[in-house]
Amino acid sequence: MEILSVLVEKLSKFEPAALGVLRIVSSLIFFAHGTQKLLGFPASDKSPEMFSLSWNAGALELVGGFLLLIGLFSRPVAFVLSGLMACAYWIAHAPRSPFPVLNGGDAAILYCFIFLFIVFAGPGRWSVDALLGRERG
């Protein structure tokens, strides 16, 4: 048990950095969904009609993804994005099948809970919020 407690103590020192990496990587990938929907990069076969539900989701993905990427207003932005992903799952994926592996909703569920975790845990290291003194980094 002594080895385990030493390992936990050593790993705990990296918690803020690991949280920052989780925030940065997940928001960067999420941001790409917004750039695809609204800016056409990477190229896609379909582009949503302006102010449609999908376009509004793309706007939140683009703006919210960028804010979360840099770590500005991290907790409220993560809260909104978590809700967006919950709605996306129930509106676009769940009607296809009750099983996420069949309805393509795996990513929506993961984003929902990663963002919800950030609401409670904060942005971690390397965030504008930490630079402004709103969060400890």
Please classify residue 115 by burial: count the beta carbons closer than 10 Å to its beta carbon, then call 0-12 exposed, 13-18 middle and 19+ buried: buried
Please classify residue 26 by burial: count the beta carbons closer than 10 Å to its beta carbon, then call 0-12 exposed, 13-18 middle and 19+ buried: buried
Type of residue found at 130: A
- To the nearest 10 degrees (0 to 180), the angle between helices 106-121 and 74-88 is 160
Q: What are phi and psi of 43, to 5 degrees?
A: -55, 145
Q: What is the pLDDT of residue 10?
A: 92
Q: What are phi and psi of 100, to 5 degrees?
A: -55, -35
Q: How far is CA 116 from CA 59, 82, 86, 111, in A?
A: 19, 6, 10, 8
Share of the chain above pLDDT 70, in %: 99
pLDDT per position as a tens digit, 6-54: 999 999 999 999 999 999 999 999 999 999 999 999 998 888 999 999 9
Type of residue found at 18: A
pTM over 0.85: yes
pLDDT per position as a tens digit, 89-128: 999 999 999 999 999 999 999 999 999 999 999 999 899 9
Q: What is the pLDDT of residue 137?
A: 59
3-state secondary structure of 97: coil
